[in-house]
Structure formats: C-alpha cells, structure tokens
A and B are shown apart, each in its own frame.
Chain A
Amino acid sequence: DVVMTQSPLSLPVTLGQPASISCRSSQSLVYSDGNTYLNWFQQRPGQSPRRLIYKVSNRDSGVPDRFSGSGSGTDFTLKISRVEAEDVGVYYCMQGTHSKYTFGQGTKLEIK
C-alpha cells in the first residue's frame, strides 16, 4: 500500500504569516491517464473534512486563493500564504491514484 507521510505534524503559525505542509508518498502518484490524484483536505474542529485542493494544484470552489498546492511524483506541498484564524484545524493529504486510497497522518495547524 502507498504510505503518505506528512510533515510537520504540528504547525504553530502567527496570524498573517505563511504556512507550508509537506506530503510525501512511498510510490509515484502519477496515474496511467497522466493525472496525479493527490488531494488536500481541511478538517476544522467538530466538522466533516472539506476538500481544498484536487489533483495537486486545483482549488475547489469557494476555497480562498491563499491556499495553493504544488508538487509532482512523490513530493507535494500545501501552502497558505497568510494564515487566518479560520484556518485552524487538521490538514490531510490523500492519494487516489492507487486503488487503495491512503491519507497522511494529518498536520494540526494552530495559531501561535
């Protein structure tokens, strides 16, 4: 199975400052159709997960443009350009390329 490794697992950030989360996969996430099915999710306290980014770098509807995704192959990054109070929560990467999907362990973002 593909192992997704996120870092850091805890991310204290000052309001207005940038934040970055890394996600590495144990195998390439490039599918046979040429797409890379790497998604990012946000889970605020007490809420269901919400997808922010799909296929590495595509923002979902309604997601602020301060969120961006990048990467290729086995190495991916979620960046928040300026952290706001509403960004507190846990962030997960997930691969949907291989038939058994897998999530990263989660990165807990908190305000410093």
Chain B
Amino acid sequence: EVQLVESGGGLIQPGGSLRLSCAASGFTVSSNYMSWVRQAPGKGLEWVSVIYSGGSTYYADSVKGRFTISRDNSKNTLYLQMNSLRAEDTAVYYCARAGGGSWGQGTLVTVSS
C-alpha cells in the first residue's frame, strides 16, 4: 500500500528556516517524480516544487531561491528545505507522488512572530 507521511511543520518566526520530510512506503521515491503542494488557510491548492527521477527540480516563482526540494534514496524520503520564511508561506504542506496520484495528510507550517 502506498503511504506518504509528512512531518517537520510547526511555528517559526519570519526569516527562519524549516525542513519538511515526507516518508514514503509502498513505492520507491527515486523512481517517481514527487511534488510539494501547499494550501494556505481557507485558500486553494498551490504547487510549490517538483523533483523528477533524473534529479531535475523546478519551483514556483513564489519560493524560488528560498526553498530546496531533495530526496534521500536510502531513506525513501522526500524533503523540502525552507529558508527565509515569510508570513505568506503559512500553509499546510502536502507531498504528492507523480501527478498527484497519492498524497500525504499534510503538515502545517505557521510563520509568525
């Protein structure tokens, strides 16, 4: 059974850093393209980043230069390193497999002083 479990969210001050993790089971992360998607409170879905099986990465303009997507093949885990966090980054962050075929339960990131 495919499962995705996000962790690492929490309350962080503006300008701070946080690393989100997405532990996968039931499939191999490195053989799939994996995305991060976020949802601000009461708002719609916003695509954040993708990493392809070959290692190519792409980012939304709103996070480019601040966020970094990566994976650890030995741990079958996807990551999102978030730096220079802003209030507008407050959201539930989801990881998703391939074209959104599977999603995690999400982890809440709150950026506030």
Q: Give the interface of A toward B (CB within 8 A).
A: 1, 37, 39, 41, 43, 48-51, 54-55, 60, 90, 92, 94, 96, 99-106
Per the bound structure, the CA–CA distance linking A10 and B103 in Å amounts to: 25
Classify the secondary structure of A's interface with B.
Answer: loop
A60 closest partner in B (C-beta): B101
Asked whether any CB of chain A lies closer than 8 Å to the CB of B104, the reply is yes
Residue pairs across A and B with Cβ atoms less than 8 A apart, 9 shown, are A49-B94, A49-B100, A49-B103, A55-B99, A92-B44, A100-B47, A103-B46, A104-B44, A106-B44
Classify the secondary structure of B's interface with A.
Answer: strand
B81-113 vs A, Cβ < 8 Å mask (1 yes, 0 no): 000000000000010100111011110000000
Chain A residues closer than 8 Å to B105, beta-carbon distance: 48
Per the bound structure, the CA–CA distance linking A102 and B58 in Å amounts to: 12
Please give me the 8 A-B residue pairs with the lowest Cβ-Cβ distance, nearest first.
A101-B47, A106-B44, A48-B103, A99-B58, A103-B45, A51-B100, A96-B99, A39-B99
* Size category, B interface: 20 to 34
Chain B residues closer than 8 Å to A102, beta-carbon distance: 47
Say whether A1 contacts B45, CB under 8 Å.
no
Say whether B101 contacts A54, CB under 8 Å.
yes
- Give min CB distance, A2 to chain B, whole Å: 11
Say whether B50 contacts A50, CB under 8 Å.
no
Specify which of A48, A55, A92 is in contact with B94 (CB 8 Å cutoff). Answer: A48
- Give min CB distance, B101 to chain A, whole Å: 6
